[in-house]
């Protein structure tokens, strides 16, 4: 006779902090909250774009582009939710918004969906989690990752390799063979789109998208690397999610930007709970998961403490 695996979810259910009826209700999807959040998101994007335009002929364009970039890179958070089909109840809306986000940040949506599925299946399992960010061994490795240079190298290599009809052995493990051709096609379409954008700017002589999109994306990506590290880096590389995943308590503006993905442990336990219900799930599970009350900065203090401890 084998013992049942005790998880934060089963503990909360056993203690009566969460009932199965409540869990079922939390998993209900709706178009309303996602559409409202998306409308506010577009308003924010319009505001940051306006800031860049107003600062066009001064040095203030650089901080304005950085702010624009922080918003742009957070399209990853929206795309991530669309991968789980939890932003909207309507399936095609998730696919459409996810595709648009992917084109903004150079991340083909179909490929990301398959890659992310294995991330949830093998979270923090070295050699099996395709999205695992290794724990930096030195402060220089830590700073290099935050620079986003390795990230962009990987992304560009990935997309060009797919466009040439090649998958790595790891990618062949999580992308079904029947989808290989579609992944190749997606990469070619994305590169064609970027080529068309650049050609269009060259023909018109208006290079504004360089300053409104491309440079801000480069400036903002280190912020996304900073946030992505807080999810799993520094946590044990074991299959147990109450050990390998970190929830970070952050302010309302940051929760808005990341579509509540700071509640990362809760998301990993019940990935079908929509983004707008994760705060409620957090209240039910918070006594049984790893919560970083110091937010993103607290998570990085923990990561740096571990790095310095290793070096010492």
Q: Is residue 254 part of a domain?
A: no
Q: Is residue 276 part of a domain?
A: no
Q: Using N-to-C axis directions, what is the helix angle for 149-163 and 180-204, rounded to 10°?
A: 110
Q: Is residue 72 part of a domain?
A: yes
Give residue 311's pLDDT.
83
Give residue 59's pLDDT.
97
How many residues are there in the chain?
A: 312
Q: Is the pLDDT of residue 12 over 80?
A: no
Residue-averaged pLDDT of the chain: 95
Give residue 14's pLDDT.
67
Phi, psi of 208 (to 5 degrees): -60, -35
Percent of the chain exceeding pLDDT 70 equals 97
The token pair that represents 236 in the structure block: 């044990």
pLDDT in tens, 112-124: 999 999 999 999 9
Q: Is residue 2 part of a domain?
A: no
Q: Is residue 298 part of a domain?
A: no
The SS3 call for residue 215 is: helix
Strands 247-248 and 291-292: parallel
What kind and span of H or E run contains 267? Answer: helix 264-269
Q: Is residue 25 part of a domain?
A: no
Q: Is residue 177 part of a domain?
A: yes
Number of domains in the chain: 1
CA distance 74 to 63: 17
Q: Please give the residue range of the domain that contains residue 72.
A: 30-223+305-311
pLDDT interval class at 19 (50, 70, 90): confident
Residue 232 · residue 119 · CB < 8 Å: no
- pTM here is 0.94
Q: Is residue 144 part of a domain?
A: yes
What mean pLDDT comes out for the span 302-310?
96
CA distance 191 to 106: 9
pLDDT interval class at 4 (50, 70, 90): very low
Phi, psi of 125 (to 5 degrees): -90, 105
Give residue 6's pLDDT.
58
pLDDT in tens, 86-96: 999 999 999 99
Residue 31 · residue 90 · CB < 8 Å: yes
pLDDT in tens, 162-204: 999 999 999 999 999 999 999 999 999 999 999 999 999 999 9
């Amino acid at each position: 006779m084998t013992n049942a695996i005790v998880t934060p979810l089963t503990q909360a259910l056993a203690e009566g902090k969460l009932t199965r009826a409540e869990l079922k209700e939390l998993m209900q999807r709706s178009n309303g909250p996602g559409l409202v959040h998306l409308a506010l998101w577009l308003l924010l994007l319009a505001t940051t774009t306006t800031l860049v335009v107003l600062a066009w002929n001064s040095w203030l364009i650089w901080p304005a582009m950085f702010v624009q970039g922080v918003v742009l890179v957070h399209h990853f958070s929206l795309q991530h939710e669309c991968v789980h089909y939890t932003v909207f109840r309507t399936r095609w809306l998730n696919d459409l918004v996810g595709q648009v986000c992917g084109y903004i940040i150079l991340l083909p949506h179909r490929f990301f969906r398959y890659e992310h599925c294995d991330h949830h299946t093998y979270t923090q399992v070295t050699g099996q989690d395709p999205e695992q960010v290794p724990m930096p061994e030195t402060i220089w490795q830590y700073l290099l990752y935050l620079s986003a240079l390795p990230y962009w190298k990987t992304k560009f290599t990935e997309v060009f390799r797919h466009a040439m009809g090649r998958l790595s052995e790891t990618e062949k493990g999580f992308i079904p063979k029947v989808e290989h051709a579609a992944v190749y096609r997606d990469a070619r379409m994305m590169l064609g789109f970027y080529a068309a954008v650049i050609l269009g700017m060259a023909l018109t002589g208006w290079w504004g998208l360089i300053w409104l999109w491309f440079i801000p994306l480069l400036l903002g990506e280190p912020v996304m690397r900073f946030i992505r590290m807080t999810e799993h880096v520094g946590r044990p590389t074991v299959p147990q999610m109450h050990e390998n995943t970190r929830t970070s308590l952050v302010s309302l503006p940051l929760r808005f930007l990341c579509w509540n993905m700071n509640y990362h442990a809760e998301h990993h336990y019940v990935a079908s709970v929509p983004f707008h219900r994760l705060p409620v799930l957090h209240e039910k599970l918070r006594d049984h998961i790893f919560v970083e009350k110091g937010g993103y900065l607290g998570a990085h203090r923990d990561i740096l403490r571990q790095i310095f401890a290793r070096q010492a």
